[in-house]
Chain A
Amino acid sequence: MEKLHYKFETKNPIQKPVHIGVVASGDLEVIFRPTDSDETVVNIVTGSDGFKEVWKNVLDRFFARYPIQANIEINDFGSTPGVVNLRLTQAMEALKDEK
């Protein structure tokens, strides 16, 4: 298990918290929470050690597209970058969901 921390310069504050996913084999859960800070903090707990650079690349790409300001927690149990990106995008959809 490894804990990773990242910070991103962002500009679009989110208004409500959302949760997506399950900590299943090859999967992850993602939590977005609103923040008062002017940057986005991402805290990751992952079961797969040694992928710091891969995570950074996935997150760089995500925030380039969606510069949301939030506190983000990720609990990961060995997902591939594709699955990570999918769950992050699903969380964005949940943010837009009016329900």
Chain B
Amino acid sequence: MKNSFVELRARERAEALLDDNARELVGPLDNMISPHLEPQGIVPESDDGVVLMRGTINGKNALVISIEGKFQGGGIGEVSGAKIVAALEKALEDNKAGKTIYPVIILDTGGVRLQEANYGLLSISEIQNAVIALKNYVPVIGLVPGRVGSFGGMSITASILSYLIATKKARIALNGPEVIEQEAGVREFDSSDKDLIWNTLGTKQRLATGLVDEVVEDTIDDIKKSVSDAIDAKKDAHRTEKVDFYLSLLDKLDLSKKLDIDGYRKLYSKVEAEKHVIDDAVEGTEPGTKSRGRLWFEKLTGINNAKSSVSTVLHAEKDGKEYVAIVPDANNKFPRVRDGEVGLEEGFAVASIVNKVVADDADKDVKRPIIMVVDVPSQAYGYQEELIGIHVALGSSAAAYAKARQAGHPVIAFIPGDAVSGGFLAHGLQSNRMIALDDTSITIQAMSKASAARITQRTIAELEEATKHVPAMAYDIDNYEKLGALYKLVKGIGSYDATDENVAKINSIIDDAIQSTVGKSADLHFRYETPIAIESGRKATNAVRKAVFEQWD
């Protein structure tokens, strides 16, 4: 097609948006390739699938970050992720110094690059952190041209961006239809039904229900004009701040029948936001559904059989610390979150709780520490979740935690259970410090083995072979420690060993972690700066950051 933007590759797309003065940072000649692909027998790319370009857009200083959807599905790995984070952080620094620069992110991405799984999750949380900080100065504009569209953790990022422009060749969702089919069965979502997919995840439906802000024709001129206009108007959809609206919408949802596209549009148009406050958990008479997260929440807060108005989200203050846990409820009215997954209600409820903590402490000099008790086996895999926009729910809680941290609240993740994928991005990865138990029952990953094998077109045996060469591919906490992101891996306490003595020990480690944040910057740099990270875990990250910083000006 003549003058099509979608048909362009990432580098050409960045050039098309910028005036005639584009300058690429850390490009293909700089030899910053992923060290994790060749050991798995995968051909790398010299720019790792991300193009960073500086220049102007209709005369305004801009940074364009363009993700190449044709290389490994636009998945974010360690190098590509670090490029994005480093560039956004330099843009933040410039904006803070009064040198206004507008970031634009072209999303053509499946989310986490599954071949570098845990690096992808870490990087994406770091991107989200930088976006939240930047939004205090400039709008961060997102563009989803298609054909890949925007999926996975990068859709959570998309929900956090100020303003989202798309073409009708794009789809936006958290879980791809194949993954939902794999996890929840073909009756939940038939991934061979193309009409169903496009009618649900296509940008026409997304525009009608507030998940994108503008759908433009696929021409270079139209797209450049929309991006430029959005910058000029400093547009901001405040998408992850509509927590009361979505909690009100969920109240009105009829779960007795399957939600369809028209039904949802009608519901969406008539809901009015009502104020929701989720009170502290209180002692109940019946034990809740057993889980590692519930056990530790109850022990750390001293509330037995804790119950709450949202059965899967518990929070309470104890000794000046705010604890938040997402827990399973075997009788939950939402069938897709009965095992402790993070679904619509969980994401928005956590956001509501954390936003209230921040608002309550707004005038205080010392901000309350927030302790996330992390035991999340995944995000919810469901049709209705995707139709409503589960990525916005997860984006709302990730944004709330990031804002809390940036406002000065120490945010500590205590991980006695699973920490998987979108669930972990929503509840865990926006913390300043992560503390995990050294227990073999803990899974820490981006996707289940069955789904990851299906999406990367490998057998489970091949996948397991790859985990031996690349620690970020592994599913256990000991390999995770090798990435250098943990503040502490606690040996000798099992996931269910919440004895009084062990609880006291964990409490003191949490207090040490809180102390370690005092006087330190409120970003996520701790993860690059541990001895393990410097030595091996984030070696490529640190090299990329250095290169971007050197080439910035």
Contact = CB atoms under 8 A, between A and B. Distances in A.
Interface of A: 1, 17, 19, 22-25, 27, 29, 31, 33, 45-47, 73, 75-77
A95 to B, nearest CB: 14
A57 B9 CA distance: 29
A91 to B, nearest CB: 12
Contacts of B44: 23, 45, 75
Nearest to B41: A1
Of A22, A45, A75, which is in contact with the most chain B CB atoms at under 10 Å from its CB? Answer: A22
B1 interface: no
A33 B46 CA distance: 13
B68 A22 contact: yes
A75 B9 contact: no
The 3 residue pairs across chains A and B that have the minimum distance between CB atoms: A24-B70, A23-B45, A1-B41
Given A19-B29, A23-B43, 15 more contacts: A1-B41, A1-B43, A19-B27, A22-B71, A24-B9, A24-B70, A29-B45, A29-B46, A31-B28, A31-B46, A33-B29, A45-B38, A45-B44, A47-B42, A75-B46
Q: How large is the interface on B (under 10, 10 to 19, 20 to 34, 35 or more residues)?
A: 10 to 19
Interface centre among A1, A23, A29, A73 (most CB of B within 10 A): A23
Given A25-B70, A27-B70, A19 B45 contact: no
Given A25-B70, A29-B28, A45-B38, A19 B46 contact: yes
Nearest to A21: B9
Contacts of A23: 43-45, 70-71
Contacts of A45: 38, 43-44
Q: Is the interface of B mostly helix, strand, loop or mixed?
A: loop
A33 B38 CA distance: 22
A47 to B, nearest CB: 5
A1 B42 CA distance: 6
Contacts of A73: 46
A22 B108 CA distance: 14
A76 B28 contact: no
Given A23-B71, A24-B71, A47 B43 contact: yes
Given A1-B38, A24-B71, A76 B29 contact: no
A33 B28 CA distance: 11
Max chain A Cβ within 10 angstroms of own Cβ: one of B9, B42, B71: B71
A75 B42 CA distance: 10
Contacts of A27: 70
Contacts of B46: 19, 29, 31, 73, 75
A23 to B, nearest CB: 4
Interface in B32-56: 38, 41-46
A17 B29 contact: yes
Contacts of B38: 1, 45
A17 B71 CA distance: 22
A76 to B, nearest CB: 7
A91 B10 CA distance: 18
A73 B29 CA distance: 10
Contacts of B29: 17, 19, 31, 33
25 contacts: A1-B38, A1-B41, A1-B42, A17-B29, A19-B27, A22-B45, A22-B68, A22-B71, A23-B45, A23-B70, A23-B71, A24-B9, A24-B68, A24-B70, A24-B71, A25-B70, A29-B28, A31-B28, A31-B46, A45-B38, A45-B43, A45-B44, A47-B43, A75-B46, A76-B43
A58 to B, nearest CB: 17
Contacts of A19: 27-29, 46
A77 B43 contact: yes
Contacts of A46: 43
A23 B43 CA distance: 8
A25 B71 CA distance: 8
Interface string B1-39: 000000001100000000000000001110000000010
